[in-house]
Amino acid sequence: MANHKSALKRIRSNEKKRLRNRFQHKTTRNAMRRLREMTDKKEASAALPNVISMLDKLAKKNIIHANKAANLKSKLTKAVAAL
């Protein structure tokens, strides 16, 4: 167990960050799933920029790797274009 005040604070802040990161990651995954399930091209095209923005934010905060975000954006864009 931590003995210093700063170490105890670090444990608390790390837990808050972990929960925030987990929430953001899960929310983005659900948004991607909903986007892939859409059948209307107009509706999917409207939702795509929001999902891309979410992925960019995750990559910027190092929650996911930048290349993974790029791959996901590419696949989602192709899926929407194929509708």
CATH 1.20.58.110 fits 5-81, yes or no: yes
| Residue 39 phi, psi dihedral angles, 5° rounding | -110, -20
Per the confidence metrics, is the pTM higher than 0.85?
no
Q: For the range 61-68, what are the long-range contacts, defined as Cβ-Cβ under 8 Å and sequence gap of 24 or more?
A: 61/21, 61/24, 63/21, 63/24, 63/25, 64/25
Helix (H, G, I), strand (E, B) or coil at 82: coil
CA angle 3, 18, 31 (to 5 degrees): 175
Residue by residue, pLDDT tens for the chain (83 residues) are 678 999 999 999 999 999 999 999 999 999 999 999 999 999 999 999 999 999 999 999 999 999 999 999 999 999 999 98
